Copies of this chain bind each other. A is one copy, B any other.
Amino acid sequence: MELKSIVEGIERSDTRSVARAISIVETESLHVERNLIIKSIYPKTGHAGIIGITGPPGIGKSTMIGNLCKILSSKKIKVSVLAVDASSPFSGGSLLGNRIRMQENLSRYGVFMRSLANRGLNGGLSRAVWDAVDILDAAGNDFIIVETVGAGQADLDIVNLADTVIVVLGPGLGDQIQAIKAGIMEIGHIFVVNKIDREGSFIAIKDLEETLAFSTQGEWKIPVYGTNSLTTEGYDDLIRGIMDHSELAKSSMEFRKKRYREEMRIVMQDEVSRILNRKFKDMILNGSELEKLLESKTDPYSAARKILKGSTVKL
């Protein structure tokens, strides 16, 4: 597939072209192709509402996304899903099965879904996730749902990428209260207590509402919804909340600016890392500092400073 036909395919929402483009942005060595694709499609971006969904593992995020996609699709709203997975060799097997089931489920409603192995800085959201969102945006999606797995920095970074962040918690808050204290309160625009058929969910909602009572995100008053993913109870309210917040976020120039700044920061860091990694390789492999280190005549920080000091890098 030629780049030109991939770009044209994205613009007419062709699933194969979208999938191919995402594979390209995931492949480090194809950075020239990636730059061309993003450059070509970028003027078409800016339409989609980007919804981040985060919460602890096993809380029912995937099922919730399935329900949201089913309801949105039935209203002729075009939605795609990106699942951002931690890249441990141990999570491979079980996660893969889960993702295949999710994909099969979503394809029934004509929803495109892709899982991305996250290899971002600090375990945060990687550049490829931003690129994939741009591609899905240019492909004419009304909403792009980005799920993070609840196992790394990406769970907090999602606030930089998404217009609307939904934090999904469970009935027995307990340990999750720690998460709320650890910065989750600051990133959530919408809170959901899932599995409201379970014991303790009424109290969990009340607790959350009290905790959030004095929290606002600008002019937005943070709501708490209860959902039951089996009966889809509570989903109408949740979807109304998503729509309302998405509208508000889109109209905020401040938010857009913050988002572009973050995207540029990630792209620049990525670009510089690539250049420096090449340069480092020579510096370290051919350096006399390594020999000194082996003979315990220096330490890594002194060695690094000696190599770096005075050297200039042309970017």
A positions within 8 Å CB-CB of B: 34-35, 38-39, 42-43, 45-46, 54-57, 86-94, 96-97, 118-123, 130, 150-153, 155-156, 174-179, 182-184, 253, 256-257, 260-261, 263-265, 267-269, 271-273, 276-277, 280, 283-285, 289-290, 293-294, 296, 298-305, 307-315
Indicate if the CB atoms of B309 and A267 lie closer than 8 Å: no
Chain B minimum-CB-distance residue to A281: B265
Indicate if the CB atoms of B301 and A39 lie closer than 8 Å: yes
Indicate if the CB atoms of A90 and B267 lie closer than 8 Å: no
From DSSP, what is the main secondary structure of chain A's interface residues?
A: helix
Copies of this chain, complex-wide, total 2
Report B-chain residues with C-beta under 8 Å of the C-beta of A276: 269, 272
Q: A87-B122, A93-B179, A264-B303 are in contact. List 20 more A-B contacts (CB 8 A).
A: A35-B301, A39-B299, A39-B301, A56-B90, A87-B153, A88-B152, A89-B179, A90-B151, A93-B178, A96-B178, A119-B123, A120-B122, A256-B294, A261-B284, A264-B304, A268-B308, A271-B301, A272-B308, A310-B314, A313-B315
